[in-house]
Amino acid sequence: MANLLTVLRMILAIIAIEFLFTGNPAFSFAAVFITLIVIVLDGLDGYVARKFNEQSTFGSVFDILGDRVVENLYWIAFSILGYVAPWVPMVVVTRGILTDGFRSIALSKGYTAFGNSTMMQNKFCWFLTASRFSRALYGVAKTLVFLMLIIAYIPNLTYFDIFNVNQFLFYAGIQPYLITIANIFVYITVGMCVIRGIPVLIESKRFINENK
């Protein structure tokens, strides 16, 4: 069940992103709600795995892969749409490739990214990367930045019949502020992404040394 939820959130993320490329404000609003569902499923799959005793090495790895797919799809799409600069997905994707590559070395030694058999042995490194607090905080940051970027760049709002002229003028007036706030969250989220990745590289050193 947990793995099916991971597959579902990847499919929903693709649908939400396709909606953003339509240029239709109605579809952009739909993308907001679908993105919320994707984020909720991100936390729900782990809960379901624990609730129904479905925790496994494969499930742990597949969950991370699902995170990577969803996160990278959104950042790449935002860059193509012009919501963020190209360096943002470059940094996020590079970080993901590096950390997952080193995690695969640890996995070959019987260690997983999170859980009881986590590769994070140093307490401070564990707190930054593997603790529920760190993972939840990063999840909240991604939720806010993804939603803020979609809302801040809703296109062609003048043609959306639900909005009258006064409502459009209100949105046009606050849109620059929404974009500014969204950009602040971009820097915060990417910063957290990089910071949370560094401990993985540090902890991987001992596995690399064992292979020499």
> How far, in Å, CA of 47 to CA of 207, rounded?
30
Question: Into how many domains does the chain fold?
Answer: 1
Reading the block at residue 116, the tokens are 């009881």
φ/ψ of 118, rounded to 5, equals: -60, 145
57-90 in b/e form (b: 16+ CB < 10 A) is eebbbbbbebbbbbbbbbbbbbbebebbeeebbe
Q: What is the CATH number of the domain that holds 42?
A: 1.20.120
Q: Identify the pLDDT of residue 26.
A: 85
Q: What is the pTM of this model?
A: 0.84
Q: Which domain holds residue 125?
A: 2-210
Segment-wise mean pLDDT, segments of 10 residues, the chain, 212 residues: 83 95 89 92 68 66 86 96 96 92 79 73 85 88 93 70 53 80 95 92 76 54
Q: Identify the pLDDT of residue 178.
A: 87
> How far, in Å, CA of 107 to CA of 124, rounded?
21
